[in-house]
Amino acid sequence: MDDIKEKTDFIRDIIRQDLQEDHGKKIHTRFPPEPNGYLHIGHAKSICLNFGLAQDFNGKCNLRFDDTNPTKEESEYVDSIKTDICWLGFDWGQREYYASDYFEKLYEFAVLLIKKGKAYVCDLSAEEIRQYRGTLTTPGKESPFRNRSAEENLRLFKEMRDGKYPDGSKVLRAKIDMSSPNINMRDPVMYRILNKSHHRTGNKWCIYPTYDWTHGQSDSIENITYSICTLEFEDHRPLYDWFIEQLGIHHPRQIEFARLNLTYTVMSKRMLLELVEKNYVSSWDDPRMPTISGMRRRGYSPEAIRNFCSQIGVAKADSTVDMAFLEHIIREDLNKKAMRVMGVLNPLKIIIDNYPEDQEEELTAINNPEDPDAGTRKIPFSKIIYIEKDDFMENPPSKFFRLSPGREVRLRYAYFIKCIDIIKDKDGTILELHCTYDPSTKGGDAPDGRKVKATLHWVSAGHCIQAEARLYDKLFIKENPLKTDGDCNFKDNLNPDSLRIIDSCKIEPSLSSAKPGNIYQFERLGYFCVDPDTTNDKIVFNRTATLKDEWAKIKTSI
């Protein structure tokens, strides 16, 4: 695990101060996702923070699913969340909990508040409750059902549980202050009637607690000491405190931090779900998605994501992180560990006229210049090879140094070659090039000291493997996809060129045993990960990132 014991931020400073004042205090955090979608990079920040705090201060971190809304939650999401957390490198041990574990206890807590005159059953509709709540500048209005007796409220609440009333006909509300400047304190809903089957409790319940009611009490039941939340819950903290104080139970400390915002993407699970359901992307783990599963499929490593979350830090003020910085972190990580190979995306055939017809040879290639222990491999060379179409120009501009008529270039790990002829079809499309090679330049250097200005990657035509390459770009064309004009919405900012599929890719034969999840650097082209769609008949590669580092350029220009 990453060494972050010396890391400091305002949350760690608060905890260190608390520990100085109370040496016996135990650090107990929790990560509380709602299983209504797949986790995204913003959740990764919260995971790293909550589990990281527990690691740094020798404490514990629970995994607790906030499964209070059966209309949106599925076991599929529960399984995906657990997979993502484990993949990131964190372990909750035996501390896997669910809000649904506490439904009975939460009901008992609600009964206690009713008996104390702090909660009541309300018959107003959802729209009427909104109207009665008031605005930020005007106070709310009390419900006509607010002053029901405790006895009547207890009876009605039990009848709600027993399924006597239809959905939406009644709710249980906290009895606080309809004139409070904090709208969250204006008699918030604690329970609603919802005749839906729950993914864990089945049809046992037809009333379900709201998040605001469930959140604090679940933390208290689990003896959480620090309830780490994002900033949108700051205005909910007085309600959190009020419930805890009225019940007289263990009181965790809630601390809010700024959530992660990332350019060229959205972080709303509702919006991400819409992209999936309306087939704007292939699935939750589409490599263009900001989901952890999508990033994993694209080839991002857990170490890189943890490092990214560590470097962006934890702050109190909202900010937006440039996507280029995330990609910079990914490149730094993959540069150290990715095996180098050669692949040609858009092949152009070259025949080396003076290379012996029946000759084949094996050349030695370095697996990773950043890792001497990675060793070397053998790559085949023959009379006919492929290079990238973009590496040849018939009439090149002055600053084009790659292959052109009469010009000599180096083939990586192989020889100098010179173009002597171009074969075209009747439409003028180049079909193949004829070249000569210098046998004395084997390995890439000329004994007479002459220099060339370009080195090209290549594959042997008789040995290469056919593959599919999926080239991904940003999912949205705007830094802030939510910034729209007129009747537009965020989907109007989708990038129509976010995926380009190339099925003519040719790769060196060492990749014949490549398995899903394997990551490589295709020399001069970028980092690629083997996709799960790979079969025995076809290897599919996702481009994780290009070699061009926009963030490094930004840093240099500052």
DSSP strand pairing (320-321 vs 261-262): parallel
Measured between alpha carbons, how far is 374 from 371 in angstroms, rounded to an integer?
6
Side-chain-facing half-sphere of 205: CA atoms under 13 Å: 23
Tokens of 554: 């930004």
**In terms of C-beta density within 10 A (0-12 exposed, 13-18 middle, 19 or more buried), how is residue 439 classed?**
exposed
Side-chain-facing half-sphere of 549: CA atoms under 13 Å: 16
Output the CA torsion sign for 347, 353, 356, 358: positive
φ/ψ (deg, to 5) at 49: -70, -50
Measured between alpha carbons, how far is 407 from 418 in angstroms, rounded to an integer?
5
**In terms of C-beta density within 10 A (0-12 exposed, 13-18 middle, 19 or more buried), how is residue 187 classed?**
buried
Do residues 228 and 27 make contact, with C-beta atoms less than 8 angstroms apart? no
Helices 302-312, 75-88: crossing angle, 10 deg rounding: 80
Query: Three-state SS for 194?
Result: coil
Distances (CA, A) of 246 to 16, 147, 173, 177: 29, 18, 14, 14
Which helix (DSSP H) or strand (DSSP E) does residue 104 occupy?
Answer: helix 103-115
Measured between alpha carbons, how far is 422 from 405 in angstroms, rounded to an integer?
8
One-letter identity of residue 77: Y
**In terms of C-beta density within 10 A (0-12 exposed, 13-18 middle, 19 or more buried), how is residue 553 classed?**
exposed
**In terms of C-beta density within 10 A (0-12 exposed, 13-18 middle, 19 or more buried), how is residue 87 classed?**
middle
Instruction: List active site positions.
Output: 34, 259, 269
Do residues 338 and 519 make contact, with C-beta atoms less than 8 angstroms apart? yes
One-letter identity of residue 358: D
Residue 225 is given by DSSP the state S
Measured between alpha carbons, how far is 124 from 118 in angstroms, rounded to an integer?
18
Radius of gyration of the chain (CA): 31
DSSP strand pairing (361-366 vs 376-381): antiparallel
**In terms of C-beta density within 10 A (0-12 exposed, 13-18 middle, 19 or more buried), how is residue 386 classed?**
buried
> Which three-class secondary structure string do you get for 134-153?
CCCCCCCCCCCCCCCCHHHH
Nearest to residue 522, comparing CAs of 502, 504, 542?
A: 542
